[in-house]
Amino acid sequence: MVPYIVFDELDKSASHILLKQAEEYFLRTRKGKIRSRLIIPGPFFVHSGLATMAQAADLAAYIIS
């Protein structure tokens, strides 16, 4: 099972900034390149109201696997 990153989407422009920072880290740093093999390096964004459900689904998938 490959872990993934989930962030709360508060603002579209802030989300774009975070994506750019993640891209810089995973593509241009040595540690980032190594860690990108261990996770899905593209974060998923959910709205605050859905964050709890996304965490519950993630926990359920982890338990099942």
Q: What is the pLDDT of residues 3-44, one digit of tens each?
A: 667 666 767 777 788 888 888 988 899 998 888 888 776 666
pLDDT for 2 equals 61
pLDDT for 31 equals 92
29: DSSP letter: S
Considering only CA atoms, which of 12, 2, 4, 13 is closest in space to residue 43?
A: 4
| Prediction pTM value | 0.53
Scanning the structure block, which residue is given the tokens 């190594």? 34
pLDDT for 29 equals 94
Residue 64 in this model has a pLDDT that exceeds 80: yes
The full DSSP string for 10-54 is --HHHHHHHHHHHHHHHHHSHHHHHHTTTSEEEEEEE-HHHHHHH
